[in-house]
Amino acid sequence: GSLFDDPENLQKNWLREFYQVVHTHKPHFMALHCQEFGGKNYEASMSHVDKFVKELLSSDAMKEYNRARVYLDENYKSQEHFTALGSFYFLHESLKNIYQFDFKAKKYRKVAGKEIYSDTLESTPMLEKEKFPQDYFPECKWSRKGFIRTRWCIADCAFDLVNIHLFHDASNLVAWETSPSVYSGIRHKALGYVLDRIIDQRFEKVSYFVFGDFNFRLDSKSVVETLCTKATMQTVRAADTNEVVKLIFRESDNDRKVMLQLEKKLFDYFNQEVFRDNNGTALLEFDKELSVFKDRLYELDISFPPSYPYSEDARQGEQYMNTRCPAWCDRILMSPSAKELVLRSESEEKVVTYDHIGPNVCMGDHKPVFLAFRIMPGAGKPHARVHKCCVVQ
């Protein structure tokens, strides 16, 4: 979303870093999933959206991609359906046999040319789109959370690509109260719904990749207890309601130095380096939300720092905002059979990369995350041709 709230400063950087990844990995098939596409003020950003899409489809960096499919949920006037998701798929000119699944006709159609679908995606048979029911997250009256699913077949290798946006933490104070937090439970329910939906009985089961903004957060209570082990806590309450509005953690000695201040939308820890040192991997033990799905979803090892919330100041590429505890919100997950596709190629050539884009550049409040790998279409065939595949979140 940041890309469209400050397009003059952010889009140029974002596209340059994105094109660099394309140039480095040279994928034959590329998927780009965006969330909050159009930014917070969607109606005012429509011209920026159009410009961004045209740039991606016509730039020199993408000239070898002669086929594309773009699905943009721009139906912002429909509270019932609007998800603000954007899914882009680019096919390299060297890729000969690629088909996309028609969910209404229940058959594959050969992909040709470049096509853009927007406004109401509900009538498009080449995807499935759903917004999560309002009762999943009742305190957020205008939630845009949901998913878009497409299905592809490259030389006998079929897979689903699911663009997903799960619910955020509405309050740092509420997230801190329990372990796991109430918000973690809401995301668990929504992700379970998506997984059940994409493997139900309506269609043949295939491998699937689910990637987007899962809004996964570190277990807040455990993180605060670890970061502030030797601290004392001061509680600040509202004078009129007696509601807790702020928590202040101070060192027991060292002149009672403030270590952490916590409010609904404030997470101000005195030393941000803890989230950047060694890519923040010391904090991965508090990244627990995926463990519930350990039999259904696989992820490669994370070796990049938390992807959110970065400063939106174009001059600050590595600085986190002090609004939330930094976390790995943006992820690329896969089914057990998709894992076999990815790791089978890894055992033959060291070609799998799971990383973030623009480590030193302001890319907005989220750093994009990408997975580059090779798949062996027609798995089991002795001379199956290798195709490069890249998905970008």
- The pLDDT tens digits of the residues spanning 128-151 come to 999 998 788 777 666 789 999 999
pLDDT of residue 383: 40
Higher-scoring residue by pLDDT: 382, 331: 331
Each residue's pLDDT tens digit, 182-211: 999 999 999 999 999 999 999 999 999 999
CATH for 2-217+272-372 is: 3.60.10.10
Residue 78 has pLDDT above 70, yes or no: yes
Q: Residues 89-108: what's their mean pLDDT?
A: 96
Residue 31 has pLDDT above 80, yes or no: yes
Higher-scoring residue by pLDDT: 367, 137: 367
Overall pTM surpassing 0.75 (yes/no)? yes
3-class secondary structure per residue, the chain: CHHHHCHHHHHHHHHHHHHHHHHHHCCCEEEEEECCCCCCCCHHHHHHHHHHHHHHHHCHHHCCEEEEEEEECCCCCCCCCCCCCEEEEEEECCCCCEEEEECCCCEEEECCCEEEECCCCCCCCCCEEEECCHHHCCCCCCCCCEEEEEEEEECCEEEEEEEEECCCCCCHHHHHHCCCCHHHHHHHHHHHHHHHHHCCCCCCCCEEEEEEECCCCCCHHHHHHHHCCCEEEEEEECCCCCCEEEEEEEECCHHHCEEEEEECCEEEECCCHHHHHHHHHHHHHHCCHHHHHCCCCECCCCCCCCCECECCCCCCCCCECCCCCCECCEEEEECHHHHHHHHHHHHHCCCCEEEECCCCCCCCCCCCEEEEEEECCCCCCCCCCCEEEEEEC
Each residue's pLDDT tens digit, 36-69: 998 888 778 888 999 999 999 999 999 999 999 9
